[in-house]
Structure 1
Amino acid sequence: MYQHKYWNQLKELKVHVYYVQAYAVKQNKYDQIINIFLAITSSSSIAAWALWKDYQFLWAFIIAASQVITAIKPLLPYRKRLSALNKLGDMLSLISLKAERDWYFVAEGKWSEEEIHSKWADLKEDALSAENKCLNGVTLPKNKSALTLAEKEADIYLQSTYY
Structure 2
Amino acid sequence: MYQQQYWVELQNLKAHVYYLELYQLGSESVERWISIILAIASSASIGGWVIWKDYAFVWAFFIMITQVISVVYKFLPFKARIKPLATAGVELSLLADDAEKGWFDVAQGNLTEREINDKRFAIRKKKSAVMKSAFSGMVFPENEKLMAKAEDQMRKYFKSHYQELQDER
Give the TM-score band, short-chain normalised.
over 0.9
SS of 1:138 mapped into structure 2: coil
Q: CA shift at 1:22, angstroms?
A: 0.6
- Alpha carbons 1:17, 1:92 under 8 Å: kept: yes
The DSSP-based 3-state class of the residue aligned with 1:75 is coil
Residue 65 of structure 1: how far off its partner (Å): 1.4
Which position in structure 1 is the counterpart of 2:25?
25
**Structure 1 gap ranges (5+):** none
Identity of aligned residues (%): 37
What is residue 145 of structure 2 aligned with on the other side? 145
1:117 aligns with 2:117: yes
CA pair 84-18 structure 1, distance change in 2 beyond 3 A: same
Residues 72-94 of structure 1 show CA distances to partners (whole Å, capped at 9, x for unaligned) of 22211222100111011011001
58-67 vs 48-57, greater mean Cα deviation: 48-57
Counterpart residue identity of residue 116, structure 1: I
Residue 102 of structure 1 aligns with which residue? 102
Distance (whole Å) between structure 2 residues aligned to residue 20 and residue 106 of structure 1: 26
Aligned residues: 163
| 1:42 Cα offset (Å) | 1.6
2:48 aligned with 1:48, yes or no? yes
Give 1:154's aligned residue. Answer: 154
The 8 Å contact of residues 17 and 93 in structure 1, kept in 2 or not, is answered as: yes
Seen in structure 2, the aligned counterparts of structure 1 residues 140 and 55 have a Cα distance that, compared at 3 Å, is farther
Matching residue of 1:76 = 76
After TM superposition, the structure 1 stretch with the greater mean CA deviation from structure 2, 46-55 or 123-132, is 46-55
State how far apart, in whole Å, the 2-side matches of 1:49 and 1:103 are: 65
* Gap regions ≥5 residues in structure 2: 164-169
Shift of 1:140: 1.6
Asked whether the equivalents of residues 21 and 85 of structure 2 are also in contact (C-alpha less than 8 Å), the reply is: yes
In structure 2, C-alpha distance between the alignment counterparts of 1:55 and 1:147, rounded to whole Å = 47
Q: Which moved more, 1:133-142 or 1:113-122?
A: 133-142
CA-CA distance at 1:56 after TM superposition: 4.3
- The answer to whether the 8 A contact 1:84-1:138 is kept is no
Alignment partner, residue 89 of structure 1: 89
Helix, strand or coil for the counterpart of 1:141?
Answer: coil
